[in-house]
Amino acid sequence: MIDINLIRNNKELVKENIRKKFQDEKIPLVDEVFKLDVRYREIKQEADELRGTRNKKSSEIGALVREQKYEEVEKIKKEVGEINKKLEELEAEETKLEAKIKEIMMKIPNIMADTVPIGKDDSENVEREVFGEKTKYDFEVPYHIDILENLGGIDLDSARRVSGSGFYYLMGDVARLHSAVLAYARDFMIDKGFTYVIPPFMIRGDVVDGVMSFEERDAMMYKIEGEDLYLVGTSEHSMIGKFKDTIIDANELPITLTSYSPCFRKEKGAHGIEERGIYRVHQFEKQEMIVVCHPDESKEWYTKMWNYTVELFRSLNIPVRTLECCSGDLADLKYESLDIEAWSPRQQKYFEIASCSNLTEAQSRRLGIRIKDENKKYYAHTLNNTVLATPRMLIALIENNLNADGSINIPEVLRPYMGNIEKINSK
């Protein structure tokens, strides 16, 4: 959520930002908020003046009683009663306007960084850097499900009978590999100075509204029937929610946390759920990193965070590239965002495996996360980044560490988590 002062003082900046995101249908919201805010401030001023008048008149009553001027006392009491009645009406309208302004403000996108490329959708995202030589083989790379089935590591048929499409059973050494990469990612981030956290896997609706746009919520989140609880789509949601309605001492910043959670997503929309693949699924596990910091430090942390993910994937022999999200692909709360994509030898193209985002004050304003620095209070900046997400990570890992006989080499950094085995053999 942006600062209301931007709309008060520079409506055109806010409108231009919306145009750059190709969301012209939201432009009228800016003028609507502006008009509501003008009325809100008029009411607030009128109410404040009435309170002042009421206090002044009330203070006169005691003196008049002592002077036994009872007629004047009754007159003032009547006037105070009329003021209270008018105040009640104004306060009701003020509350209604405040709620309406907040509702609309939460639909207006965050102001983007000047460096964000302008484009309509993800097809216009811009490649920034490439890390590592593309993996090449002198044999044909099978589909990832065929590789996993050959290793005795996945059972989709049973999962489909039990849960439907978008679910899976991981088996044997592949299941162990799945756990190994998560444990390695946890320790990797701890070594970077991040504190390890296991957060709640369900969150309340007001936290959901604080961390994402309404459109994202409806497309992604599973709601628990009959309760004000949602299953997390990523642990970032409950991790940022941890700081809801808090005032953080400036000396405690930056706060750097890395969290593990299962994640649950509807995955509605154009991408859909693959019948056989595990690239897009309803249930997965994830290691996340989040940072809460001083506004002046968020750009620096943004660069550090995506570099950590690149470093981790390169340590697993996986070539990656960074892709800057264009304006039309940037979620409404984001100031800037960078996707990290892994090379697929089978598809001969990169695919997304992580996303790093700087949200500046957008989440903090929604959730009330503030910094106390001497006598000042101001909103913190929040950032999040995927360390890795499985089973999507498994696709990149097995394709880039595959042997001609169908076996998989275990990257050296994972071997301590795999009983020091060097290879998973075909079954």
pLDDT tens digits along 20-72? 999 999 999 999 999 999 999 999 999 999 988 888 877 777 777 777 777 77
What pLDDT is attached to residue 51? Answer: 87
What gap in Å lies between CA 362 and CA 359, rounded to an integer? 6
Token duo for residue 391: 């089973």
What pLDDT is attached to residue 275? Answer: 52
Residue 391 near residue 286 (C-beta atoms within 8 A)? no
Domain ranges of the chain: 4-105, 122-424
pLDDT in tens, 138-151: 999 999 999 999 99
What pLDDT is attached to residue 82? Answer: 85
The ranges of the chain with pLDDT < 70 are 268-276
**First vs last C-alpha separation in the chain:** 53
What pLDDT is attached to residue 72? Answer: 78
Give how far Cα 231 sits from Cα of 334, 363, 391, 408, Å.
Answer: 22, 19, 18, 34
> 0.85 cut: is pTM over it?
yes
For domain 122-424, give its CATH number from 3.10.520.10, 3.30.930.10, 3.40.50.880, 3.40.50.2300: 3.30.930.10
What pLDDT is attached to residue 80? Answer: 82
What pLDDT is attached to residue 74? Answer: 80
* Residue 54, number of CB atoms within 10 A of its CB: 18
- Work out the angle between the directed axes of helices 392-400 and 172-191 (0-180°, nearest 10): 100
pLDDT in tens, 391-402: 899 999 999 999
What type of residue is 37? Answer: D
CATH topology of domain 4-105: Helix Hairpins (1.10.287)
What pLDDT is attached to residue 1? Answer: 86
What gap in Å lies between CA 149 and CA 155, rounded to an integer? 7
